[in-house]
Amino acid sequence: MADQTLTVRRFLSADAAATLRCFERAVRGTASRDYDAQQIESWTEVDTESWERRRASVETWVAERDGQLVGFSDLNHEGNIDMMFVDPDAGRTGVASALLAHLKSLAKSRGLGQLTVHASITARPFFERQGFAVTAEQRVELRGSLLTNFRMHCAVSG
């Protein structure tokens, strides 16, 4: 039987292509129920080089199951989560919860009082189940499309 253990580890530059695939699959698959085709195209219009630079410039964490990258997230020094994406084939299997638990643990160890995120319509219910509250609904322009997302925060327990 294959090992189904989920591990969370630090992003390596070799993970750039896999995280980009995960992002594109999540947006085109999972988020497509909440955003139209033009919004999806604007959201996923990313070139590989800028993606790799962006992932390497922030503290990014990847989740792997059975040796395959199934999700990723990041955390900056202020406690903001810029991205959290799970491959649709691994959805609802605890990947996002494991990534968020890892980020909460990091935030707590660093003395951060809260985590913040700008969650998509698709991600909002997940973050609410994890204790985040909406502070504002916003419309963000991205490459010619307006996308709705939600500014959210969650206290980090001490």
- For the chain, the distance separating the N- and C-terminal CA atoms, rounded to the nearest angstrom, is 39
The structure's pTM equals 0.95
Query: With respect to CATH, is domain 6-111 assigned 3.30.390.30?
Result: no
The DSSP code for 40 is: H
Strand order in the sheet with 84-86: 6-10, 59-65, 68-75, 84-86
pLDDT along the chain (158 residues), means of 10: 78 96 97 97 94 93 96 97 97 97 97 97 98 98 96 90
For the chain, the structural domain boundaries read 6-111
